């Protein structure tokens, strides 16, 4: 049933299309599912080879760590937390953009989220998996990781619930579970669409199993709509709570540079900042490769860059506040940490790289030209990711390596095992992501179809001089 293209003028405040106007349901279905049915191209296999090799490094790093113990890492006294916690916080932060896009933007009825939410949610799921690996390995004997949970042990001991580290266990496992449920619930109608447009029996059976027999029934949609909205509603405070709790790991301690009340909001802003940057890093090549330019338009990219700009400013404010409070308190340890050690100490290079990437780089997005230029935004997004990694490095390593007593100071240097595991998680993330792009629609097809109908209604009304519909 071909429908006529939008002919009415677009809203002057929103001059670009959210969905290219020449589509109807059937053509959207075809376009958005095409990459699942198509055989993956050379590019996909090449990338998959790269990520698989990186995953191999993870296997090597983890095996070596398990065989020899965590002494093979660069961690020492006093730097007891290093790559393991840096990467944990970095990955969790990246995950947060996914929930933000799918949940918070849904609640604010930001229609532009529809084309990118599936993508971002998948990113969340995989990033949290990578994050979880680090504290697990850091326990030293991950096969006893169940000790972290309250279970009736023969020793009669229970976890100490006043410790932020125990809060972390609950926060991260809840976050992983809820993200997975949210992602899967959103996926069910699209899995049914895959089942019904499948070409072989195997495809039909496999997608049929995962779609649970979804048939788009009105009675099901009736419950589904509210269930999806509620999941978004509970994910919103969840995402804020998760990074708040992660920041408590630091803020509750007495280490100079950690013991500040600005940590929770500043960590959440940093998480969103790095997460959106990661979405840009991944979506720019993916939309080209998957042919999704009609639904992930330049407007989506520009909006995300605006979010990067806003959260970048929040992060810069966080840095300013840290330095201000250190000065205002006149505490000699705080003063040392912020004005001497971080800016001029042994890790000053990382510190200034962090400032360049996190404070200076996002400012280019004040200019429309930079917000809409694909190469500029892609490079900037990578710089933001580097900057946010440096931030976690600075927070953790500078504060621990030089705290109160100069006699117990020590320099930290990562070993090859640290790098193997870190690069390995990038490989794990990339591998999972490529598999996701191959087997599942990267865009929420049913939501885009609904959006397209709404846009047509709205355009129709606009054409008659009335503004806004639904």
Partner 1 sequence: MEATVLDSWVLAEFGTPDALVDATRQMREKGFQGMDTYSPYPLHGGSEALGLPPSRVPFIALGGALTGMCTALAMQTWMNTYDYPLNIGGRPLLSLPAWVPITFELSVLFAAFGIFFGLLALSRLPQPYHPVFESDAFRSASTHGYWLSVPQATGQDATAVMDQLKSLGATQVTLVTGEKE
Give the binding site for partner 1 (CB under 8 A).
Answer: 1, 3, 24-26, 29, 150, 156-162, 164, 166-167, 170-171, 174, 177-178, 181-182, 184-185, 189, 192-193, 195-197, 208-209, 212-227, 230-231, 234, 237-238, 241, 245, 248, 445-447, 449-450, 453, 470
Q: How far is the CB of 222 from partner 1 (least distance, A)?
A: 5
Q: How far is the CB of 185 from partner 1 (least distance, A)?
A: 7
Buried b (16+ CB within 10 A) or exposed e, 259-292: bbebbbbbbbbbbbbbbbbbbbbbbbebbebbeb
Nearer to partner 1, 159 or 346 (CB): 159
Q: How far is the CB of 173 from partner 1 (least distance, A)?
A: 8
Nearer to partner 1, 33 or 308 (CB): 33
Nearer to partner 1, 189 or 318 (CB): 189
Q: How far is the CB of 433 from partner 1 (least distance, A)?
A: 24
Element (H, E) at 271: helix 263-289
Q: What Å distances lie between residue 277 and 273, 274, 284, 373, 442, CA to CA?
A: 6, 5, 11, 15, 18
Nearer to partner 1, 306 or 460 (CB): 460
Rounded Cα gap, residues 409 and 412, in angstroms: 10
DSSP annotation of 146: G
Q: How far is the CB of 469 from partner 1 (least distance, A)?
A: 10
Nearer to partner 1, 191 or 350 (CB): 191
Q: How far is the CB of 27 from partner 1 (least distance, A)?
A: 9
Nearer to partner 1, 149 or 324 (CB): 149
Rounded Cα gap, residues 346 and 398, in angstroms: 8
Rounded Cα gap, residues 83 and 340, in angstroms: 23
Q: Where are the beta strands (DSSP E) in 363-457?
A: none
- Quickly count: other Cβ atoms within 10 Å of residue 153's Cβ: 10
Tokens, residue 409: 């100071």
What is the total residue count of the chain? 470
Q: How far is the CB of 439 from partner 1 (least distance, A)?
A: 17
Q: Name residues whose C-beta falls within 8 Å of residue 417's C-beta, 6 or more positions apart in sequence.
A: 61, 64, 65, 72, 73
CA-wise closest residue to 171 among 89, 245, 87 = 245
Nearer to partner 1, 4 or 7 (CB): 4
């Amino acid at each position: 049933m071909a429908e006529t293209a939008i002919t009415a003028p677009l809203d002057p405040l929103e001059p670009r299309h959210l969905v290219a106007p020449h589509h109807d349901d059937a053509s959207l279905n075809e376009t958005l599912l095409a990459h699942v049915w198509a055989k993956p191209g050379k590019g996909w296999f090449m990338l998959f080879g790269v990520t698989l090799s990186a995953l191999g490094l993870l296997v090597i790093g983890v095996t070596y760590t398990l065989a020899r113990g965590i002494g093979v890492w660069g961690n020492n006294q006093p730097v007891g937390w290093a790559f393991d916690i840096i990467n944990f916080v970095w990955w969790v932060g990246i995950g947060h953009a996914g929930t933000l896009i799918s949940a918070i933007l849904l609640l604010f009825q930001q229609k532009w989220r529809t084309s990118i939410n599936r993508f971002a949610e998948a990113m969340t799921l995989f990033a949290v998996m990578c994050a979880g690996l680090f504290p697990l390995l850091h326990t030293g004997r991950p096969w006893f990781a169940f000790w972290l949970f309250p279970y009736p042990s023969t020793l009669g001991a229970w976890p100490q619930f006043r410790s932020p580290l125990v809060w972390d266990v609950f926060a991260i496992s809840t976050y992983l579970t809820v993200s997975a449920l949210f992602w899967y619930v959103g996926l069910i109608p699209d899995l049914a669409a895959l089942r019904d447009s499948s070409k072989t029996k195997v495809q039909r059976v496999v997608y049929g199993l995962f779609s649970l027999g979804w048939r788009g029934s009105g009675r099901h949609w009736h419950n589904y709509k509210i269930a999806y909205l509620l999941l978004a509603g509970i994910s919103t405070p969840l995402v804020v709570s998760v990074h708040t709790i992660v920041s408590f790991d630091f803020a509750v301690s007495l280490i100079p540079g950690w013991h500040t009340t600005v940590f929770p909001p500043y960590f959440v802003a940093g998480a969103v900042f790095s997460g959106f940057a990661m979405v840009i890093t991944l979506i720019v090549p993916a939309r080209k490769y998957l042919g999704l330019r009609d639904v992930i338009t330049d407007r989506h990219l520009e909006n995300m860059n605006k979010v990067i700009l806003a959260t970048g400013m929040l992060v810069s404010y966080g840095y300013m506040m840290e330095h201000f409070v250190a000065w205002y308190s006149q505490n000699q340890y705080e003063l040392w940490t912020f004005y001497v050690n971080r800016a001029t100490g042994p890790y000053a290079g990382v510190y200034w790289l962090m400032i360049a990437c996190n404070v200076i780089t996002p400012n280019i997005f004040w200019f429309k030209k930079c917000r809409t230029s694909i190469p500029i935004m892609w490079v900037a997004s990578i710089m933001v990711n580097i900057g946010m990694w440096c931030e976690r490095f600075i927070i953790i390593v500078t504060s621990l390596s030089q705290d109160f007593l100069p006699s117990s100071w020590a320099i930290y240097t990562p070993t090859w095992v640290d790098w193997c595991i870190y690069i390995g998680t990038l490989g794990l993330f990339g591998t999972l992501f490529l598999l996701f792009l191959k087997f599942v629609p990267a865009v929420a097809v049913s939501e885009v179809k609904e959006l397209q109908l709404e846009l047509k209604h709205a355009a129709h009304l606009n054409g008659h001089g009335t503004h806004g519909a639904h």
